[in-house]
């Protein structure tokens, strides 16, 4: 039986910042090799118990959970790699020149490098792996005297270590903030992709790819009154959350985006629902505001076929507005524009555009759910009611991928404004 790596945490006081906080490093030892990397968590020295290598004080529960998640993720990766016959993995790519220069590693040219021995081999060599989005990358110490034996450790980052981690993209406009929803205790599979790399793009050079896996049941930051963790087996998500909008009543807003269903996308069965966008309420801001959402967009079976449809929670007597059959939308871009006049009573209005053509103009409807008066847009993939797969054939619950581009929130132009509010 192979010996497991030893994992510990240490405070790097020599790297203290101007505000007095000190970064925590993870120390990984295996087969006489030592690798240390920054986990992007800072604490004050008074918050650190050096004997037990754990955080103390008011933040101990939150931060110690993150430390434990890191430890578990490393062991999981070790066990995955140890299943290979020789312990080798293919070279995934090369570090950018700037990173190599900063680390002092000689540049290794060519994309057809042979397999290299990984950290968990008996005699580890220099490792150069391409850093993925949301990865931890550091180089670091080895017990060998030669600089050529310096080791680069790169781990795909399976958890977002900061709750509500920011996501920046030039494909998002009109929002002050965009964050990853329920980011903790799961792999982040949201990334910006390039047209030059063969990915679908609506306009410009990039788009945002969302892929959800059956294991992507995440957790929030633990301070919200909202649901802190998704229930594994029943929920999984990869979503972005945008600005929280307050005092929406009587305001007029336009939300736009382009969506592309990957050709591999397959709708779910067994009663599962896939939400592909929602305007979530701030349920606890106003008494009587109980609904999850003002509206949402979903892939659900409707009249015997899977449809991409707009659904209103505020005006629940309104039938879903069908944007298109899922099979017809796969492999091409669809532009969606939602023009809403927010109202708590039946004087609201909702206009839905598909590829710049009006497909529904819903007049004299309630557009704010219950007594709610605030909310925020979310886009991505949120799957729930997947318990049917959990109870029968969990492995058959496949990944799903969609792309979003040209995500916009704005006030209507003068000529677009709804008359006779």
Query: What pLDDT was estimated at residue 282?
Result: 79
My answer on whether 103 and 251 are in the same domain is: no
Lowest mean pLDDT among 4-13, 34-43, 146-155: 146-155
My answer on whether 101 and 184 are in the same domain is: no
Task: Say yes or no to pLDDT of 36 above 50.
Answer: yes
My answer on whether 119 and 243 are in the same domain is: no
Does residue 167 lie within any of the structural domains?
no
Count how many domains the chain has: 2
My answer on whether 179 and 147 are in the same domain is: no
Q: What is the DSSP letter of 147?
A: G
Which of these, 245, 256, 416, 417, lies nearest to 336 by C-alpha position? 256
Q: Which two tokens stand for residue 228?
A: 């802190």
Does residue 162 lie within any of the structural domains?
no
Spell out where 187-292 has E strands: 190-194, 206-212, 235-245, 252-261, 273-281
My answer on whether 192 and 338 are in the same domain is: yes
My answer on whether 103 and 216 are in the same domain is: no
pLDDT in tens, 336-357: 999 999 999 999 999 999 999 9
Contact 182, 218 (CB under 8 A): yes
Does residue 164 lie within any of the structural domains?
no
Q: Which two tokens stand for residue 185?
A: 């205790």
| Last-in-domain residue among 156, 183, 203 | 156
| Percent of the chain residues topping a pLDDT of 90 | 46
Task: Say yes or no to pLDDT of 262 above 80.
Answer: yes
My answer on whether 104 and 134 are in the same domain is: yes
Task: Say yes or no to pLDDT of 37 above 70.
Answer: yes
My answer on whether 96 and 223 are in the same domain is: no
Does residue 281 lie within any of the structural domains?
yes
The predicted model scores a pTM of 0.63
Mean pLDDT calculated for residue range 370-383: 94
* CA distance linking residue 300 with residue 408, whole number of Å: 25
My answer on whether 138 and 23 are in the same domain is: yes
Does residue 255 lie within any of the structural domains?
yes
My answer on whether 242 and 308 are in the same domain is: yes
More confidently predicted of 208 and 418: 208
**42: containing domain:** 6-156
Torsion angle, alpha carbons of 381, 385, 388, 394, to 10 = 40
My answer on whether 343 and 412 are in the same domain is: yes
Does residue 31 lie within any of the structural domains?
yes
């Amino acid at each position: 039986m192979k010996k497991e790596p030893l994992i510990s945490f240490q405070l790097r006081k020599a790297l203290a910042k101007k505000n007095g906080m000190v970064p925590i490093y993870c120390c990984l030892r295996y087969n006489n090799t030592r690798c240390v990397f920054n986990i992007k968590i800072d604490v004050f020295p008074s918050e650190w118990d050096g004997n037990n290598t754990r955080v103390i004080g008011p933040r101990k529960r939150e931060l110690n959970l993150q430390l434990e998640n890191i430890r578990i993720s490393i062991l999981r990766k070790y066990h995955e790699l140890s299943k290979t016959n020789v312990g080798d993995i293919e070279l995934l790519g090369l570090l950018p020149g700037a990173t190599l220069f900063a680390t002092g590693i000689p540049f290794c040219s060519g994309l057809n490098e042979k397999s290299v021995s990984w950290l968990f081999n008996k005699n580890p060599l220099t490792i150069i792996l391409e850093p993925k989005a949301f990865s931890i990358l550091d180089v670091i110490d080895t017990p060998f005297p030669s600089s050529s034996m310096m080791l680069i450790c790169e781990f795909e980052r399976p958890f977002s270590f900061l709750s509500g981690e920011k996501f920046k993209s030039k494909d998002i406009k009109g929002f002050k903030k965009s964050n990853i929803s329920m980011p903790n205790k799961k792999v982040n599979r949201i990334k910006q992709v390039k047209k030059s790399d063969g990915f679908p793009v609506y306009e410009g050079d990039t788009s945002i790819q969302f892929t959800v896996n059956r294991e992507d049941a995440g957790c929030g930051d633990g301070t919200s009154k909202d649901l802190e963790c998704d229930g594994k087996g029943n929920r999984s998500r990869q979503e972005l959350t945008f600005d929280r909008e307050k005092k929406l009543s009587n305001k007029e807003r336009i939300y736009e985006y382009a969506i592309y269903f990957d050709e591999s996308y397959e709708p779910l069965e067994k009663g599962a629902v896939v939400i592909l966008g929602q305007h979530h309420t701030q349920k606890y801001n106003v008494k009587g505001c109980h609904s999850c959402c003002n509206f949402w967009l979903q892939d659900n079976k409707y009249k015997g076929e899977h449809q991409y449809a707009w659904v209103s929670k505020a005006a629940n007597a309104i039938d879903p507005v069908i944007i298109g059959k899922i099979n017809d939308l796969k492999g091409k871009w669809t532009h969606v524009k939602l023009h809403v006049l927010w109202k708590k009573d039946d004087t609201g209005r909702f206009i839905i555009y598909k590829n710049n053509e009006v497909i529904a103009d819903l007049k004299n409807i309630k557009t704010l759910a219950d007594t709610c008066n605030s909310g925020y847009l979310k886009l991505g993939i949120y799957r729930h009611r997947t318990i049917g797969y959990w109870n029968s054939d969990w492995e058959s619950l496949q990944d799903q991928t969609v792309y979003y581009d040209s995500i916009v929130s704005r006030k209507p132009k003068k000529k677009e404004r709804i008359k006779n509010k």
